Amino acid sequence: MTPLAAAANENLAQISNYLIYSSMAVYMLAFFAHIAEWTFGSRSKVARTAAALTPAKTAAAPAVQVRGKAGSTAVLDKPKVVTRSAAGTRDVPDGPGAAGGTVQGDLYGRIAVSLTALAFLIEAGGVVARAMSVQRAPWGNMYEFSITFSTVAVGAYLVLLALKKNVRWLGLILVTTVLLDLGIAVTWLYTESDQLVPALHSYWLWIHVSTAIFCGAVFYIGAAGAVLYLFRDAYEAKLAGGGKPGRFASSVLERLPSAGSLDKFSYRINAAVFPLWTFTIIAGAIWAGDAWGRYWGWDPKEVWSFVTWVAYACYLHARATAGWKGRKAAYLALFAFACWIWNYYGVNILLSGKHSYAGV
């Protein structure tokens, strides 16, 4: 490489660092905007949810209303009967969202989403600049993997919003964890721009690692839905039992989607990306055959990738079984995502093997 080209790559690396730090600053502004959305949005009453959870009286038949004008024939109105889909389920409406249905809260929410989109574009620019500085795929070490991971996670969230999905409630927890991810990346995982080890010089780097990043980012969104489901389910159960949650719990949890909606959201997200995770493992095995002459060697990364696959397969099977819907399935989904996190941080940093490309 000529001195001029080396200088140009160094400048691109510095631009990438500047863009990543700039995106963190904008994500921080989005974080405060989301806090304002939750704080200043109206605290709608819990009466609607409490009424929906109150068991119907069965001692007497519902009253029949008679309406009509004087001298006219009376008309009997059919009584309204609330039915439930299955025993043990709750017919609970979704909450009004973080904004709480107010103009002020909605304004802060729109500002938060706009700042999140701006931060996403800046961070994506940083990832592209990093790729140009090393002239390869920008995920050859943990630092590059982390900044790409958070970019994809935010991108998936924005795509769901663009598709008119009710996921704005995810914004605060997403921005918070993205800031944590980027903070760890720039503080402990940062690695100077460098070329790949010989084993990584393959077109499979673009295929295998990119799908692994995408799967992890979407699995994260599913895990966030599972965590919020557990809180909302406990809240609804307390109301159903006649309890009175605290003011803070009511203010936050009543504005989330119902537990049933969160359960479906988490399941659908994980089910949609699971086939791609299967492809990721198969692609890795093919790459291993090209690079090392064997498709499977029980390397720590290979083992934990398979363990993660088994955990998600068990979750999907359990979730499709009536006896495992709800909290049991949510715990299993979180265990599966914990396996993915360990496969990324624990295996890369604490264990040694052929996949030891952490760069830290």
Tell whether the model's pLDDT for residue 292 goes beyond 90: no
Q: What is the mean pLDDT of residues 41-63?
A: 47
Tell whether the model's pLDDT for residue 299 goes beyond 70: yes
pLDDT of residue 119: 98
**Per mean pLDDT, which range of 176-180, 289-293, 334-338 is the poorest?**
289-293
pLDDT band at 282 (very low <50, low <70, confident <90, very high): very high
Q: What is the mean pLDDT of residues 91-97?
A: 84
pLDDT of residue 250: 84
Tell whether the model's pLDDT for residue 140 goes beyond 70: yes
Q: What is the mean pLDDT of residues 5-22?
A: 89
SS3 for the chain is CCHHHHHHHHHHHHHHHHHHHHHHHHHHHHHHHHHHHHHHCCCCCCHHHHHHHCCCCCCCCCCCCEECCCCCCCEECCCCCCCCCCCCCCCCCCCCCCCCCCHHHHHHHHHHHHHHHHHHHHHHHHHHHHHHHHCCCCCCCHHHHHHHHHHHHHHHHHHHHHCCCCCHHHHHHHHHHHHHHHHHHHHCCCCCCCCCCHHHCCCHHHHHHHHHHHHHHHHHHHHHHHHHHHHHHHHHHHHHCCCCCCHHHHHHHCCCCCHHHHHHHHHHHHHHHHHHHHHHHHHHHHHHHHHHCCCCCCCHHHHHHHHHHHHHHHHHHHHCCHHHCCHHHHHHHHHHHHHHHHHHHHHHHHCCCCCCCCCC
Tell whether the model's pLDDT for residue 102 goes beyond 70: yes
Task: Please write the tens of the pLDDT for every residue from 196-218.
Answer: 666 677 788 889 999 999 999 99
pLDDT of residue 355: 61
**Mean pLDDT over all residues of the chain?**
84
Q: What is the mean pLDDT of residues 217-229?
A: 96
